[in-house]
Amino acid sequence: MQIQDLPYPDPGVPDARSGSRFLWWLFRNQLGGQLKSLAWGLLHFLSISVLPFCVGVAVQAVVDHSGRRLALAGGLLVLCCIGSALGDTFLHRTAVTNWITAAARVQQLLAHKAANLGSALTRRVAAGEVVAVSTGDVEKIGWFVEAWSRFTAAAVTIVVVCAAMVVYQPQLGVLVAVGLPVLALAALPLLPRATRRADFQREKAGRATELASDTVAGLRVLRGIGGEELFLDRYRRASQEVRHAAVRSARMWSLIAAIQVLLPGLLLIAVVWYGVHLARQGRVEIGELVAVYSSVMILSYPLRHFEEIAMAYSFSRPSATRAARVLSLERAMSAEGSRDRAGDGDGLPAGDLYDPATGLLAPSGRLTAVVCGDPDAAGLLAERLGGHPSEEGTSVLLGGVPLDELPLGSARTAVLVQDKDPVLLSGTLRELLDVPASGAVGAEEALAAAQCADVLAALVQGSLGAADPMDARITERGRSLSGGQRQRLALARSLFTDPEVLVLDEPTSAVDSHTEARIAQGVRDLRAGRTTVVFTSSPLLLDHADRVVLVHEGEVAAVGVHRELVRKEPRYRAVVTRETDEEAALNDVLNELEEIEETA
């Protein structure tokens, strides 16, 4: 896989049982790129490692007054320099390619998982952790893949050079062959402690990121209640904890780095001392001593990659663990059995929408309003109506067909669920409405039904050089707009999509009553002949519904029209009018008197 070929047609099915298994799965899928890196890395490192032997041959040629061997050494030096430059160039190219393609694979997997889980993702994993995984953690995983590309070549080079030195000069070569593995593994006992400190640092950093995300998301509310300083203090404390953890982690890595400098120096001193001793006895030639001495110095370069791979693994393993935890999440009811049916036909089911768990029935082509006293229960029920919910339960039926048995994409095409807090992505209004749609509803009709005239005027005013409202820019998450304006734009997007079944969860909770009344009429008119379910407790919306359903304690408790239920159903009236117990008792008495009068 090359960078220009990204994104992957299929990123694959990850092994998300643990962070280590996930890294190993990434390596297997990068095998071709890793082999290329190994080949170029060997060319680079071996070319550098041969330089000391060339220098040794040249020195000995000068001592022996041999011009032919001196010329031969010069030619070998030129070849080694060319090989080193060529290998280094392509090693860097292939290693960075492995990094980018591995990071792209992880990002694609995370994006697919987020699209599959939908709103269930942030209910299972904190939003800050999702942000940390998709940004910093992906970078660290890519770093490990890149470091591994160089480490394998460095490790093979050290083995080859040690064997060559044993053959070239056995007495000094044995000393180097024994000393180099000790140098490579010297920091191994310190790695568990360094890894624990790195894990602790990443945990603190994830917590700080989560606090920052929550603070920014709720800044408008925090300012309104004067709580921004409280959250800022919490973030300051979390930030200081991250700093202290980073310093403790850096101390351990500084110790490892010091060992990587100290021990090669000691080995070099030992080689020189022993080599001089052998040279005095005439058992080693000057050229051989220079070659071995230079080799030990040169090998400190590939040895540094042992420290890098240890550091990369220590930082990437917790990142891979977090990524694996997100990727291992599954919906409560996966459509494994339905994937085989994906090619049976393009037709989607149609008809009444029915939830066996609660008894909720939304007749086809009608506007059904659902009143639920528990907002959380309403959100879960709205999600279940869309099929493939995050919590296990009985499947919702559309035209008698279980939605959970349809592929996830088909279920979402048949039933569109607009969450209570829909997200507006940054871009122009035209891009916001660039969504799959039936084509039966125009953008102007959807915006008019959602009462977005003032929103369009505000967007044009806030966008320089945008005469057409469709070209006006929306800031990230629509932060420049009020809550009601964002809500109406999201509603317009859902109306423009024009699905067979549209489920709206509190679509007008942030707008004033006059606008809400016009929206209720606009939605009713635009969705005529289409199935629409609205979760609301607003009398203005309820009064426009063809059918109102009261869901109490997880079951349908009453069905009727708004005015009838307000008069006859105390539980419904308590939710819609927010009446107190005293007012409820008084209304019951009045209703009994009315019934007595009618009987009389």
Exposed, middle or buried by CB within 10 Å (0-12, 13-18, 19+), for 589? Answer: exposed
Per-residue pLDDT reduced to its tens digit, 450-474: 999 888 888 888 777 677 888 888 8
DSSP 395-421: PPEETTEEGGGS-HHHHHHHEEEE-SS
Pairwise CA distance, residues 560 & 549, whole Å = 7
pLDDT of residue 360: 94
Q: Show the tokens assigned to 510.
A: 């942030």
Q: Judge contact between 107 and 138, C-beta under 8 A.
A: yes
Per-residue pLDDT reduced to its tens digit, 18-57: 888 998 898 888 888 899 999 999 999 888 888 877 877 8
pLDDT of residue 341: 38
Does pLDDT of 374 surpass 80?
yes
Side chain identity at residue 465, one-letter code: G
- The three-class DSSP label of residue 295 is helix
Does pLDDT of 337 surpass 50?
no
| Between residues 227 and 73, the one the model is more confident about | 73
Does pLDDT of 345 surpass 70?
no
pLDDT of residue 369: 95
DSSP 4-54: GGPSPS-------S-HHHHHHHHHHHTHHHHHHHHHHHHHHHHHHHHHHHH
pLDDT of residue 340: 37
Does pLDDT of 342 surpass 50?
no
Non-local CB neighbours of 30 within 8 Å, separated by 6+ positions:
98, 101, 102, 145
Per-residue pLDDT reduced to its tens digit, 143-161: 888 888 888 898 898 888 8
Q: Show the tokens assigned to 201.
A: 């640092």
State mean pLDDT over 72-80.
Answer: 88
117, 118, 105, 128: which is closest to 22 by C-alpha?
105
pLDDT of residue 343: 36
152, 39, 146: which is closest to 101 by C-alpha?
146
State mean pLDDT over 3-10.
Answer: 80
Q: Show the tokens assigned to 425.
A: 């992505």
pLDDT of residue 237: 87
Side chain identity at residue 124, one-letter code: R
Per-residue pLDDT reduced to its tens digit, 526-550: 999 999 999 999 999 999 999 999 9
pLDDT of residue 338: 40
A 10 A CB-CB count for 139 gives 14
Distance from the first to the final alpha carbon of the chain: 86
Confidence grade of residue 59 (pLDDT, cut at 50, 70, 90): confident
| Between residues 20 and 117, the one the model is more confident about | 20
pLDDT of residue 446: 93
Per-residue pLDDT reduced to its tens digit, 285-302: 777 777 777 777 777 788
Q: Judge contact between 466 and 453, C-beta under 8 A.
A: no
State mean pLDDT over 318-328.
Answer: 85
Place of tokens 């209910």: 123
pLDDT of residue 335: 39
- Average of per-residue pLDDT values in the chain: 82
pLDDT of residue 214: 65
Q: Judge contact between 422 and 490, C-beta under 8 A.
A: yes
Confidence grade of residue 520 (pLDDT, cut at 50, 70, 90): very high
| Between residues 174 and 465, the one the model is more confident about | 174
Q: Judge contact between 35 and 135, C-beta under 8 A.
A: no
Q: Show the tokens assigned to 561.
A: 């029209």
Secondary structure of 102-159 in the HEC alphabet? HHHHHHHHHHHHHHHHCCHHHHHCCHHHHHHHHHHHHHHHHHHHHHHHHHHHHHHHHH
Task: Name the strands in the sheet holding 531-535, side by side, starting at the edge strand that comes first in the sequence.
Answer: 415-418, 501-505, 531-535, 367-372, 547-552, 555-560
Sign of CA dihedral 29, 35, 40, 42: positive
The top-scoring range by mean pLDDT among 179-188, 218-227, 477-486, 511-520 is 511-520
pLDDT of residue 336: 39
pLDDT of residue 594: 63
- The alpha carbon of 406 is separated from its chain's Cα centroid by a whole number of angstroms, namely 26
Confidence grade of residue 175 (pLDDT, cut at 50, 70, 90): confident
Report the phi/psi class of residue 282: left, alpha or beta, with left for phi > 0 and alpha for psi in -120 to 50.
left
Q: Judge contact between 12 and 112, C-beta under 8 A.
A: no
DSSP state of 425: -
- The alpha carbon of 134 is separated from its chain's Cα centroid by a whole number of angstroms, namely 3
State mean pLDDT over 179-192.
Answer: 78
Pairwise CA distance, residues 494 & 388, whole Å = 20
Confidence grade of residue 74 (pLDDT, cut at 50, 70, 90): confident
Pairwise CA distance, residues 420 & 119, whole Å = 11
A 10 A CB-CB count for 223 gives 10
Share of the chain above pLDDT 70, in %: 87
Pairwise CA distance, residues 548 & 541, whole Å = 10
Pairwise CA distance, residues 93 & 490, whole Å = 44
Q: Model pTM? A: 0.62
Q: Which helix (H) or strand (E) holds 261?
A: helix 228-280
Pairwise CA distance, residues 533 & 107, whole Å = 35
Confidence grade of residue 347 (pLDDT, cut at 50, 70, 90): low
Place of tokens 């060992």: 259
34, 213, 206, 8: which is closest to 106 by C-alpha?
8
